[in-house]
Structure 1
Amino acid sequence: MKYITFLFATLFSLPLCAAQLTLELGDHSRTWQTAELLLHPATQTLHVADDVSYKRDMTYRAIPMAVLLEGLKPEDHLQAVALDGFAAELTAAPLLNQSGAKAWLAIEDPARPWPPLSQSKPSAGPFYLVWTNPQASHISPEQWPFQVTRFTRQSPVAERFPVLRPDARLAADSPINQGFALFQKHCLACHRLNGAGDAQFGPDLNLPHNPTEYFSGNFLQQYIRDPQSLRHWPQARMPGFNPSVLSDTELDQLISYLQHMATRKVILP
């Protein structure tokens, strides 16, 4: 045990290597090296209050995402892919904002590495999507992906993964369809459903069993609000979704979608 602790300490004390960020934006792609981004004229020192991942104020060298995504349209859809398999689904509109909530790419300088996210864990680098004034656009924790290596322009989720769709006969404004939108925003970065999705992180939420099938009473609501209140283990990574991130109405909508999808399982070969 002492050797493992020493090994982690040694690894985190070693100087970081420069990384590269890949942008695959449909009709064009670009790979940026750490040094290029640090020297970019739009890069500046950025102070982020109450950073979502570090749980405290942080200071970064960062570049506006709008600069990197020049040419994209607000209706475009992006996926941010991280080293650990986290795959955040992001609409381009908030990433392109120039006022209100503003998206930035924080760049870890190998000469000035960021602190570990927690004991025995790496930092949020090499690249981290952070926000200033996030409350202006109801930015959720899943819209702060860290350890990012690639942004890829994608078709909308419902087109890429038809088995995620609710029944087409439902009204567009039904709670189930509202829940589907929330599932894409809050859950799809870590989870698959019916085997569909790009995340390599959390379990499938419909196969073999949907959580609405084995959580009784209000335990599913409690679990989503505070996972560690029901299942406590040191390496747990699912965050809690407090009412400022997911209102009670939205939580009910999300669970309505999951309940609905429990009746629409796809049997995988």
Structure 2
Amino acid sequence: MKSILALFALLLNLPAAAAQLTIDLDHTSRTWQTADLLKHPQAQTVQIVDDVSYKRDMTYRAVPLAVLLPGLNPASHLQAVALDGFAAELSAAPLLEKTGARAWLAVEDPAHPWPALAQGKPSAGPFYLVWTQPETGHISPEQWPFQVSRIKQLQTVAERFPALLPDPKLAANDPINQGFALFQKNCLACHRLNGAGDAQVGPDLNIPYNPTEYFGGDFLKRYIRDPQSLRHWPQAKMPAFAASVLPDNELDMLVEYLQHMAGRKHQP
């Protein structure tokens, strides 16, 4: 047993290896190697203030993500798939912006590996989607996927997973429909609902029970704001959603969507 643990510790401390990232768009597909991205003509050093994953300022060698998405329509939809099963659903428009909040693909250099995310854990590499000036674009923590292995263009969430849809009789601007949009942005990267979704990290949020059915009072909102304040354990992965990225009115709409879906259970 000791020898297995020692081998595991050794593997965690090995230097980062070169990797590859596949970007599949409807009209083109390309696989990038670490070395190619590091020497990309638009690669540069970027400073990230209060990095979402490392909880401190970080410096990366990165490429503007927009240049890796040639010909992509801003109305398109993408998914960034991580090595651990995290699947971030991403609207294309923010990724293509060249001012304000700007998306970058940070590339881990095997010669200069990034630090571990926590003791006993790997780094955020080999590829990490980071943002400069995220506060100007209302960027959620779930829009910072790390350990990315693939980015692919897909149909919208509503088209792929009808089991997530609220009652079609609701008006388009109903708060519940707005909550559905917030659910896609903030929750679907880790969670499924009614068995629908691609994520493999967190529990299903409707089957067998919806969190609005077992969190009393305002505890669900408190949990979303700061999960560790209600249930604390070392391996917890859910991030805190501060009011700066999920204002109170949006949090209310998100919870309204979940309450609505508690009455629309579909067995997967």
Partner SS for 1:66: helix
Per-residue CA deviations over 1:131-180 (Å, capped at 9, x if unaligned) read 10111110111000000010000111001101101011101111100100
Q: Aligned-pair distance for 1:11?
A: 2.2
Q: CA separation in 1, counterparts of 2:57 and 2:218?
A: 34
Superposed CA RMSD: 1.3
Partner SS for 1:235: coil
Structure 2 counterpart of 1:141 = 141
Residue 28, structure 1, aligned to residue 66, structure 2: no
Q: CA separation in 2, counterparts of 1:3 and 1:53?
A: 31
Structure 1 counterpart of 2:258 = 258
Structure 2 counterpart of 1:104 = 104
Q: Aligned-pair distance for 1:5?
A: 6.7
Structure 1 counterpart of 2:230 = 230
Amino acid at match of 1:66: A
Amino acid at match of 2:180: F
Q: Aligned-pair distance for 1:31?
A: 0.3
Amino acid at match of 2:86: F
Amino acid at match of 1:126: P
CA contact (8 A) 2:195 2:267 kept: no
Q: Aligned-pair distance for 1:59?
A: 0.8
User: For structure 1, which runs of at least 5 residues remain unmatched after alignment?
Assistant: none
Amino acid at match of 1:94: P
- The number of residue pairs the alignment matches comes to 268
Q: CA separation in 1, counterparts of 2:249 and 2:4?
A: 45
Per-residue CA deviations over 1:158-210 (Å, capped at 9, x if unaligned) read 01101101011101111100100000000000000000000011100000000
Q: CA separation in 1, counterparts of 2:234 and 2:150?
A: 29
Q: CA separation in 1, counterparts of 2:212 and 2:142?
A: 22
Q: Aligned-pair distance for 1:120?
A: 0.6
State, as a whole percentage, how many aligned pairs show the same letter: 72
User: For structure 2, which runs of at least 5 residues remain unmatched after alignment?
Assistant: none
Q: TM-score, normalised by structure 2?
A: 0.97
Structure 2 counterpart of 1:116 = 116
CA contact (8 A) 1:43 1:62 kept: yes
Partner SS for 1:135: helix
CA contact (8 A) 1:8 1:120 kept: no
Amino acid at match of 1:165: L
Q: CA separation in 1, counterparts of 2:33 and 2:181?
A: 34
Relative to structure 1, is the Cα distance of residues 31 and 133 closer, same or farther in structure 2, using a 3 angstrom cutoff?
A: same
Structure 2 counterpart of 1:184 = 184
Amino acid at match of 1:260: H
